[in-house]
Amino acid sequence: MSGEADALEGIAGRALELVGEDTIVGLGTGRAATAFVRALGAAVAAGMRVRGVPTSDTTAALARELGIELLTLAEAGRIDATFDGADEVSPALDLIKGYGGALVREKIVAASSERLVILVGDEKIVSSIGQRGKLPVEVVPFGMALCERELAALGCTPTLRATDGETYVTDNQNFILDCAVEPIGDPVGLERRILAIPGVLGTGLFVGMADVVLVQEGDQVRAMERA
């Protein structure tokens, strides 16, 4: 394959093989997820019957453009499988997500799914979760000062996410604090401590949630599965 676009197309095609006919599919956010949505749209145009639950407004707009029927989470109930990307994947298939800003909706959709399938390039594989040094945390704007103070006290120095000089606002109308972290020895414990801070809505830690991780390695796709 000649480049990133070709690689994403390849891994999206492999993921499409895991989509059952007449199922409900969670549609993730980010570059790999976008490639999957495009592949799914082509399959729908060719006659596949599938409905999707998007994790962001951006993904919803793309899916509609491609003719994929969308459902709300309430309409869908239980989702058969969600296909999404990740920013880090550990050997235990724990994840950090949220660099794209949709972490809370992504986690809600993933938790509503029978299976979570993650699509990544091999550069996203880490030996220890937190290795890339950033953990996104979505917070209610009113609670910003408290959240910043308490996150710093936990050793997770926060930086308010901004885009083009403007504070980044999620689809939920909240802010994201990108927290500086070292490799995380106890992700479950850290998640619990962060979620205990009033004003925190969610973190980018997805622990024990992924069932399959498809990894693009050159021209090949390797599947990692939860034991």
Q: Which residues of 73-93 are buried (b: 16+ CB within 10 A; e: fewer)?
A: beebeebbbbbbbbbbbbeeb
Q: What are phi and psi of 105, to 5 degrees?
A: -65, -40
Q: Where are the alpha helices (DSSP H) in the chain?
A: 4-16, 31-45, 57-65, 73-76, 103-111, 144-153, 187-195
- Residue 18 · residue 212 · CB < 8 Å: yes
Three-state DSSP class for residue 145? helix
Catalytic residues: 106
Show the tokens assigned to 180.
């500086």
CB atoms inside a 10 Å sphere around CB 180:
15
- Measure Cα distances from 21 to 45, 48, 67, 93, 104 in Å: 14, 6, 16, 27, 28
Of the candidates 135, 158, 134, the one whose C-alpha atom is nearest the C-alpha of residue 145 is: 158
